[in-house]
Structure 1
Amino acid sequence: AGANFLRVVEQIKTRLKAKPVPVQLPIGAEEEFKGVVDLIRMKAIYWSEEDRGMTYELKDIPESMVAVCQEWRDKMVEAAAEANEELMEKYLEASELTNDEIKQGLRQQTLANEIVPVLCGSAFKNKGVQAVLDGVVEFLPSPTEVPDVKGINEDGTEGERNSSDDEPFAALAFKIMTDPFVGTLTFIRVYSGVLTSGSSVYNPIKSKKERIGRLLQMHANSREEIKEVRTGDIAACVGLKNVTTGETLCDLSNIITLERMEFPEPVISVAVEPKTKADQEKMGVALSKLAQEDPSFCVHTDEESGQTIISGMGELHLEIIVDRMMREFGVEANVGKPQVAYRETIRKPVEQESKYIRQTGGRGQYGHVWLRIEPQKPGTGFEFVNAIVGGAIPREYIPAVQKGIVEQMENGIRAGYPVVDVKVTLYDGSYHDVDSSEMAFKIAGSQGFKAGATKANPSLLEPVMKVEVVTPEEYMGDVVGDLNRRRGMIQGMDENPAGKVVDAEVPLAEMFGYATDLRSLTQGRATYTMEFLKYMEAPTSIAEAIINKQ
């Protein structure tokens, strides 16, 4: 409901700052959507209802649309003519171009990122699919028309691969899918070289060799087995064991790591419990497969309660996960209340000594460290620096100290939430020839971090979301007032054909149930989008309340 083609075209221009050029116009809208007008051929296209849009026929444009179609065709031809001087001269002389010249001009402009061709259709009604596929071929770049893909060579230098079958093989795994018949399918996009089924490739992220089982060409919900894939192809591999989304597969003798995808940290968690004993094992399998498919979704077991905790990007994200668990894996589960994924950090540097000494009947335990713990810029993460000189602590014990610190960071400082954005320098300590062990230094590191961080003015960080609300003007005051009550900070207000646009930054903790509240405020006429923006320090009163709950 609410579909409006020309409004969307305007939104592409105002919101995305692009130059949309419609090459089709819809005939009717919403329930009355019947077909499209092809502005290049100036013909109406109608799809058959009987074979679910597999066939279509060309007819004359409805009389009522001829004038508006001519107006938009003129704009399209003008955009195509701007592609080069030859087309522009012809257009200025004749005010018209041939159909092939229009396609040539639109393609050139699209490849130069000057325009965005806009088509329309309805997947639900099976209308417009063939035209979109033709548009992909006619307007979008082939693999040889895009810049060479860049990556990092094995020696750390920047490398690149030409889009050629003669280059060494390189591909990116961009999607993992679980199939009930063949198991895990890894979708890859080949950037260079040729890959044949049965051959071996290398995963530089995991430093593991993988053998390709079968290669499948996917056609919507059907598939066809193929022997090889070449540059520019997209295919699914069967039999890969250690590949996750965003990882590179490359030639064993010519290693390159392509740019990885960045996945945001989960910001919301819920506890899930299987309803029956039979669901327990099935739930573990289902969640591990879903986590493999979706890197922004995480699963872990709470050590204190023994509960299974699932974490994702929002309420809807986790609702979909639980729904898929039931539909695809037959797992019935009870779901707890959503919990915000808070983080902890520190605000001042400290130095901390930590000794772990245990003397028992036999061999004792001895670990002694000096740690410098410092805050880092937001988003920097954790950094461990080994500044030991003169062998004060033997090299083999250093990783144990780091491991102890990392484990303690996971358990938090005051509220039990993971610690982020800290730098820890191990700069001194001592050891015992007989009693020192990895375990002793791990415990010394863990206890030292906990003691030092507690004195380093710890603070609680909460996830803040970027929220955009589009509302009719008469509800603007109510919407802004409601966002302010939710501790939101209004960043700006704008206007577009759909209404007033409010941009705000709001703590996630205040956004639970917002969809329902917004519907009530605006009689269902406002919409909103929300995405994770950053972590910010929570106000003292909020932080204290959260810590006291733990």
Structure 2
Amino acid sequence: MKHPKELRRIFSISAHIDHGKSTTADYLLSKAGLMSAETAGEKRMTDSDEEEQERGITIFTTVVILSYEYETTDAEGNTREDTYLFQINDTPGHLSFTGEVSRALRGSDGALILVDALEGMMTQTETNIQLAVGEERCKPVLFINKVDRLISELRLEPEDVFGKLNIIASQVNNMIKKLAPPELKKEWAISFKKNSIAIGSAKDGWAFTVEILKQRGLEPKDVFQKYADDDKAWLRANLPLDDALLRMVIQHIPNPGTSQKYKIPAIWKGDLESEIGQSLLNCDPEGPLLGMITKIFIDPRTKRATLIGRVFSGTLRKDDLLFLVNRRQKHKIKRLGVMEITDILEVPSIPAGNLFAIFGFVCPAGESFYRDGFAVEGFEKISYAAEPVVSRAIAAKKAADMSKLGEVVSTWIMADPTASYEMDPKTKKIVLQGIDPLQIEILISRIDEQVSLNVSDPVIVHRETITQKSATFTTKSNNSHNRITLYVERIPDGVAQALREDKISPYMERKERARTISEASDEQWDNKFARGYWAHSDTNMLIEDSKGVQRLDRIKEFIIQAWITFTRKATLAGEPLTNCVFIITDATVHVDPAHTGVTEIVSMMSSACNLSYLSAKPRLLEPMMKIEIKMPEDYVGALTGLLSQKRGIIQEISERGGSTILKAIIPTVETLDLADDIRGATAGRGFFGYTFERFDDVPGHLLDKTVESIRLRNELNPQVPTASTWERFIYKTSR
């Protein structure tokens, strides 16, 4: 791993589902000698998991290493041959696994964006460019794949083919210009002239840039003629796909040393002038160690977990004791190396600017680490454009497997932080939550391979929130010796977003946290008020704004415990609360600890939360998905009718590459049987993907029925409680 930094490239291959990522990766594997040239384009070797092969989609990011001999000629005609080392991530294209893409891009310096020439820009294409350019500062290059379809299926003339390709290039460029840092917009713009766009066919194994075509003395019409002659072998031999793509990557995707100069300020918020800051910017292998875990690979056969990530500063050594920044734990490395699809190639050390593989412990993907004893600030959390809106309960079929089940679930959730889980205290079942039904289905399938499961039907998780500021309530404990006064109101949007992005933490220094909260509130809250932060749960916050209350710290943890319990199951339907702030303005705490026990304080706080919440006009929100369906034009009528029945809102219907693309917004609850419905409505010729869009109010005519149904599901009385339920806890002053 001591290959010269200038001759190394780390990049991810990203695309919409079925646009040809894994087929393209096959040719790169063939170049590396990891598979035969004859099977390249057919085997999809990076889809090593059985379920990936069965479903025909990439689910997990796969890492590949290859070397490439690249020859250059200077102005005087002298030739030079250099050996480049590539570390490549083949990422999923399905919208359900966008988290895998985000984490792969965190460890990459560039992104090879694939677009189907027939279909053009699709939803996941846009998402990938947003993640690569806008969030992870990965320089893009473009491969327009499946050009053979324009030639063979649509039988377009050359000028019409290039017209379609120019439209795709223009669409990609518009997104790059919108998302790239101002100082990089011009440099990162892709163009045929700069050879940052390649066109070709992964299925047939050929591709070219303008430069390659000129060097070979060829013209586009020659490609058309070879298809007319049915001589695809000539194209593969004379315009090999791997050469075109790797040359483009060498010329346009930066080496780690160059990339980190602009990537680090976007993903690390420490002092750039400090020793570690300078080491990060310069990708210095001699500096302090700082790296990040970007993926957990769980071997399909052994089920052992391997951590994959990148060293950004310093050198990682096989005998290192690592300190995990977020988990605040120490772990020893047992094996260190680099990942090659499913195997670890062991090495003694990994310098900055390289991906690594570690075996010996497990931690969540997205964790930062440094060498124990040399503390430095960790990286920014990877943000995911998703909300957990689907849940399913699981339990081990054998009681003896319950302990093992907890360990297995924990490992898989660490591998995919866009999912979560909790133990239901009543049923003792584990409740999994994810961004859509497919993600949860895949997760359960993985867990079931290790522990035989009983699985509940999927449940759509709604949210509760308020419409207005509540009245202020003072409640008392059961023994009447303690009191608390509070109200609830909507949290500022900026603070909710900061919580969603994990920019606010209970572990932050108090003044720093207050400053962050105040800035996020758009100065609606000043620093003094923000210093009253006690806790947060999802996008809800608890703030203490009382004056001179004695002994309040004694009951603080009991108050927080009751409040968090309330936010997870609010009053209206027992669903999670969102975007609310509870503000404590006064309290009375008895001098004798015997009268301030957990039962007394929890009942007092819980009643205050329920009373204030009910007075703030609570609302029930349902998750909405953005769906994109590709189908033959003949089925548009059937699909629009189907979506109308499911409360869908059609946003756009367009023609692309001989297919009709329909985009709509649809309630998540209506997507549970959607796959079968779409197959039925299109005779199996409709393909779709969806992603979380937003939360909307449940329509008024459905509200009562929906609330009752959810309450029954949550094992609550079907009737929504009123303020009278907690009236006995209200503190009334004597007259």
TM over 0.5: yes
Once residues 272 and 123 of structure 1 are traced to their aligned partners in structure 2, the CA distance between those partners, rounded to angstroms, is 45
What does 1:95-494 align with in structure 2 at a 5 Å threshold? 113-114=190-191, 115-118=196-199, 120-121=201-202, 131=243, 136-137=249-250, 139-146=252-259, 147-150=262-265, 151-153=268-270, 161-162=280-281, 163-179=283-299, 183-241=304-362, 243-251=363-371, 252-263=373-384, 264-277=386-399, 279-327=401-449, 329=450, 331-350=451-470, 351-358=472-479, 366-376=481-491, 380=497, 381-392=539-550, 394-435=552-593, 436-437=595-596, 439=598, 440-494=600-654
**1:119, distance to aligned residue in structure 2 (A):** 5.7
Shift of 1:7: 8.1
Indicate yes or no: 2:680 matched with 1:520. yes
What's the counterpart of residue 33 of structure 2? none
- Residue identity in the other structure for 2:284: S
- Aligned-pair identity (%): 21
Check the 8 A contact 1:110/1:117 in 2, yes or no.
no
Give the 3 Å change call, closer, same or farther, for CA 21–413 of structure 1 in structure 2: closer
SS at match of 2:705: helix
Task: Render the CA deviation track for 1:251-287: whole Å, top value 9, x for unaligned.
Answer: 5535122121124332111222333445544433332
Taking the aligned partners of 1:334 and 1:210, their CA distance within structure 2 comes to 34
Secondary structure of the residue aligned to 2:642 is helix
- For 2:214, the equivalent position in structure 1 comes to none
Q: What's the CA shift string for 1:70-124, capped at 9, x where partnerless?
A: x98xx99xx9xxxxxxxxxxxxxxxxxxxxxxxxxxxx99865554435643699
**Cα distance change on mapping 1:3 and 1:145 into 2, 3 Å:** closer
2-structure distance, mates of 1:11, 1:130: 23
Once residues 666 and 145 of structure 2 are traced to their aligned partners in structure 1, the CA distance between those partners, rounded to angstroms, is 39
Aligned-pair CA distance for 1:438: 5.8
Would you tell me which structure has more strand in proportion to its own residues?
1
CA distance in 1, matches of 2:303, 2:455: 30
Matches of 1:129 and 1:182, distance apart in 2: 35
In the alignment, is the contact (CA less than 8 A) between 2:295 and 2:309 conserved in 1? Answer: yes
Paired AA for residue 202 in structure 2: G
Give, as a single letter, the amino acid of the residue that structure 2 aligns with 1:316: L
What are the Cα deviations for residues 404-437 of structure 1, in whole angstroms up to 9, with x where unaligned? 2111211221211111111011111111111453
Q: Provide the aligned C-alpha RMSD in A.
A: 3.9
1:304 CA drift (Å): 2.9
| CA distance in structure 2 between the aligned counterparts of 1:464 and 1:24, rounded to whole angstroms | 32
Aligned to 2:59: none
Query: Structure 1 CA distance, aligned partners of 2:323 and 2:442?
Result: 34
The whole-number CA distance in structure 2 between the counterparts of 1:489 and 1:452 is 35
What is the identity, as a one-letter code, of the residue corresponding to 1:376? I
* 3-state SS, counterpart of residue 634 of structure 2: helix
- Give 1:231 shift: 1.5
* Paired residues, number: 470
**Equivalent of 1:9, from 100, 114, 117?**
117
Q: Kindly provide the amino acid, as one letter, of the partner of residue 693 in structure 2.
A: L
Q: Identify which of structures 1 and 2 has the higher relative contact order when contacts are C-alpha pairs closer than 8 Å and 6+ apart.
A: 2
Q: 1:144 to 1:535 in 2, by over 3 A?
A: same
- How far, CA to CA, are the matches of 2:19 and 2:257 in structure 1? 36
Deviations 1:440-479 (A, max 9, x none): 3343222211222122211111111111122322222322
Name which one, 1 or 2, has greater alpha-carbon Rg.
1
Structure 2 unaligned residues grouped into runs of 5+? 1-16, 25-113, 130-139, 170-184, 206-235, 498-538, 713-735
When residues 388 and 168 of structure 1 are mapped into structure 2, their CA distance, relative to the original with a 3 A threshold, is same
Shift of 1:506: 0.9
TM-score (norm 1): 0.75
CA contact (8 A) 1:343 1:460 kept: yes
| Aligned-pair CA distance for 1:324 | 1.9
User: Do the aligned partners of residues 253 and 511 (structure 1) sit closer, same or farther apart at CA in structure 2, a change above 3 Å counting?
Assistant: same
Relative to its length, the structure with more helix (as a share) is 2
SS across alignment from 1:501: strand
Cα distance between partner residues in 2 of 1:411 and 1:277:
28
| Partners of 1:469 and 1:529 within 8 A in 2 | yes
Q: Contact (CA 8 Å) 2:389, 2:436: kept in 1 or not?
A: yes
- Checking the alignment, whether the CA contact within 8 Å between 2:413 and 2:421 is kept in structure 1 is yes
Deviation at 1:547, TM superposition (A): 2.4
> Relative to structure 1, is the Cα distance of residues 477 and 216 closer, same or farther in structure 2, using a 3 angstrom cutoff?
same
The structure-2 alpha-carbon separation of the partners of 1:220 and 1:12, relative to structure 1 and needing over 3 Å to count, comes to same
Letter paired with 1:397: I
CA–CA distance in 1 between the matches of 2:204 and 2:307? 25
Distance 1:234 1:474 in 2: 48
SS of residue in 2 equivalent to 1:500: strand
Cα displacement (A) at 1:136: 4.5
When residues 353 and 109 of structure 1 are mapped into structure 2, their CA distance, relative to the original with a 3 A threshold, is closer
Does the CA-based 8 Å contact 2:344-2:357 persist in structure 1? Answer: no
Q: What amino acid maps onto 1:8 in structure 2? A: D
Q: Contact 2:147–2:199 at 8 Å: present in 1 too?
A: no
Residue 483 of structure 1: how far off its partner (Å): 1.5
* Separation of aligned partners in 2, 1:153 and 1:442: 39
